[in-house]
Homo-oligomer: A and B are copies of this chain.
Amino acid sequence: MSDQDAAFVKTITPRSKDFSRWYTDVIRRAELADYSPVKGSMVIRPYGYAIWELMQQALDRRIKETGHVNAYFPLFIPESLLKKEAAHVEGFAPEVAWVTHGGDEQLEERLVVRPTSEAIIGTMYSKWIQSWRDLPLLINQWANVVRWEKVTRLFLRTTEFLWQEGHTVHETEEEAQEETLKMLGVYQDFTETELAMPVLKGLKTESEKFAGALRTYSIEALMGDGRALQAGTSHNLGQNFAKVFDISFQGRDKTMQYGWQTSWGVTTRLIGGLIMIHGDDSGLILPPRVAPYQVVMVPIPRGDWRATVLPHAERIKGELEALGIRVTLDDREEHSPGWKYAEWELRGVPLRLEIGPRDVKSEQVMLVRRDTRDKLPVPMDGLGSYIDDLLRTIQNALFEKAVAFRDEHTLRTTDRAEFNEHFEGRPGYVVSPWCGSADCEAEIKTATQATIRNLPLDPAPASGNCIQCGKLGEVDAYFAKSY
C-alpha cells in the first residue's frame, strides 16, 4: 500500500480504538449521510439512499406478499386527535414538532408533524370500516416522521427519519395477535436474509412498550461493539385506539364491535445497524443483497490499457449486468489502483474484480473478497455464474459470522457478580432470570446501564431467582446495553 493509500484509510478512526467515532467517520467518508443545517436532521446521500432503496424493495415485496397494500396519510395531525389516546399523547407530546402558522396566519388549532400515525389513520379507519366484510384492513405506509430528539446520531436517532408503518384492523383479538407475530417474523426474515443481521424476536417489557399498545414485540440485533440495536417493532394495540377513535363494525352476529389493531415499523436506523454489525477498520462491509454495487471492477493501467484491457472489462461488465449483478467499472485516470482499492473497501463493495494486461492474456481475472480479503484468480470463462455463487457465499458468511459473534457475546448466568462484571467489561447479551417487576428492571438499569431488550416468545421456566431481588424468577430475560 502506498503512503497516499495509507493516508486515505487513516482518515477513519480505527473501530477498535473508538467505535463511535469510527461509525461517524465511515458514514461521512463513504458518503452515506451528512449533517444538515437543521438541528438533528441528516441528509441521506445517494450512496446511503441506494442502500435504503434496496431495503425498501426487499421489505415492500414481503409486506405485499403477506396481503398488505400501501397508502399515504397526512403529515400533519391536529392536536385534538393526538390527545384522544391518553397514553399515546403522554408518550409522544414531549417530542413532537408543532406547526402553529400557515402563511401569515396563526392556525386555530395547532398541528403536530406526525411522530407516528395511529391517530390520523385511526380517524380514517373509523370512516372506512362498517362491517366485518371490511376486515381485515391491512395497510402500510412509507413515510417520513419527526421526533424532536435532544441527542442525535446519524441514522440511529435523528429528528426526522424515514420508515414504514403498518396499521391493521382485525375482527378478533386472536387475529390481531397472529398478525403482530406474523409481521415480527417478516421483519426477522427480512433482516436475516437481506441484511445478514441475526435478530432475537421477543416481547418488550411493560416499561419499554409503545405508548398506547397492549403489547410490543421487537427484533434486537447485536452490534460489533456488543450493544444491542432495536431493529424493528410490532405492536398489538388491542382495542385501545379503536375505542377512542370509534373503529367499530357490525360483526357476523350483527352486534357492533370494536376492531382489534396492530401497528409495526422499521426505519432508516437499519442502515446504522448494517454499518455497525458488519464493518471493520477499513470501513463498510455491505451484504451483497443490499449493496448498491456488488462488484467493483478496477482495470490495471499498464501499457496501452485503454485499448488492451478496457474492452474486456466492458464486455465482462455487460455479462455480469445481464445476470442482474450490480457492477461499476472504475476507469478514472486520476486515481491509482491502490487508491481505488481503499476507496471501494471503505464503501463496502462485497467483491473487487481486478483486470490487467496479464489477466487478459491468461484469460482470467483476480477477485478480492471484501469480507475475508481472500484473493481468487478466476477464469473468464464462466465468470458470471462464479461471481453469482460467490456473492451468495459472502452473504451467508456475513450472517454466520454475525451469529457466531452474538453467540460468543451471550452469557447465561444466575450470578449477580458475574452479571455486573460482564457489563463492566466485555459487552453483549446477558440472559438472566427476572421476577417481572419494573422496579428490578429499573434498578438494574441504574446499576449497569443494561436494559431488558426483550423476553423470549415461548419462555421456558426461569433458570433461577431474579438476578436483582433474589425472589422467584418469572422468565429469563435478555439484558444488554443498547442504542
Chain A residues in the interface with B (C-beta under 8 A): 34, 36-38, 41-46, 48-50, 52-53, 69-78, 81, 93-104, 111, 113, 120, 123-124, 127-128, 133, 139, 143-144, 146, 148, 159-160, 162, 334
Check A34/B127 contact, CB under 8 A, given A46-B69, A71-B44, A72-B44.
yes
What is the bound-complex CA distance between A50 and B69, given in angstroms? 8
Task: Check A94–B100 contact: CB distance below 8 A.
Answer: no
Partner of A101, one of B45, B53, B77, B100: B100
What is the bound-complex CA distance between A123 and B36, given in angstroms? 8
Specify the main secondary structure of chain A where it touches its partner.
Answer: mixed
Task: Check B69–A38 contact: CB distance below 8 A.
Answer: no
- Residues of B close to A104: CB separation below 8 A: 94
Task: Check A38–B74 contact: CB distance below 8 A.
Answer: yes
What is the bound-complex CA distance between A48 and B73, given in angstroms? 12
- Residues of B close to A111: CB separation below 8 A: 38, 97
A-B contact pairs, 19 of them (CB 8 A): A34-B124, A36-B73, A36-B120, A36-B123, A38-B76, A38-B77, A38-B120, A43-B71, A49-B72, A50-B69, A52-B72, A74-B160, A75-B144, A96-B103, A97-B99, A97-B111, A98-B99, A99-B113, A102-B148
Closest to A150 in B: B103
Task: Check B113–A81 contact: CB distance below 8 A.
Answer: no
Check A70/B46 contact, CB under 8 A, given A103-B148, A160-B75.
yes
What is the bound-complex CA distance between A52 and B70, given in angstroms? 10
Closest to A292 in B: B69
Closest to A158 in B: B74
Task: Check B41–A70 contact: CB distance below 8 A.
Answer: no
- Residues of B close to A38: CB separation below 8 A: 74, 76-78, 111, 120
- Residues of B close to A146: CB separation below 8 A: 75-76
Task: Check A334–B133 contact: CB distance below 8 A.
Answer: yes
What is the bound-complex CA distance between A81 and B41, given in angstroms? 15
- Residues of B close to A124: CB separation below 8 A: 34, 36, 43
Task: Check B69–A37 contact: CB distance below 8 A.
Answer: no
Partner of A97, one of B44, B78, B96, B101: B101
What is the bound-complex CA distance between A75 and B36, given in angstroms? 11
What is the bound-complex CA distance between A73 and B46, given in angstroms? 10
What is the bound-complex CA distance between A73 and B43, given in angstroms? 5
Task: Check A72–B101 contact: CB distance below 8 A.
Answer: no
Task: Check B50–A70 contact: CB distance below 8 A.
Answer: yes
Task: Check A70–B53 contact: CB distance below 8 A.
Answer: yes
Partner of A72, one of B69, B77, B162: B162
What is the bound-complex CA distance between A45 and B270, given in angstroms? 27
- Residues of B close to A48: CB separation below 8 A: 71
- Residues of B close to A148: CB separation below 8 A: 102-103
- Residues of B close to A98: CB separation below 8 A: 99-102
Closest to A268 in B: B72
Task: Check B76–A41 contact: CB distance below 8 A.
Answer: yes
What is the bound-complex CA distance between A72 and B271, given in angstroms? 14
What is the bound-complex CA distance between A38 and B77, given in angstroms? 7
Closest to A127 in B: B34
Expressed in whole angstroms, the minimum distance between the Cβ of A164 and any Cβ of chain B is 13
- Residues of B close to A97: CB separation below 8 A: 76, 99, 101-102, 111
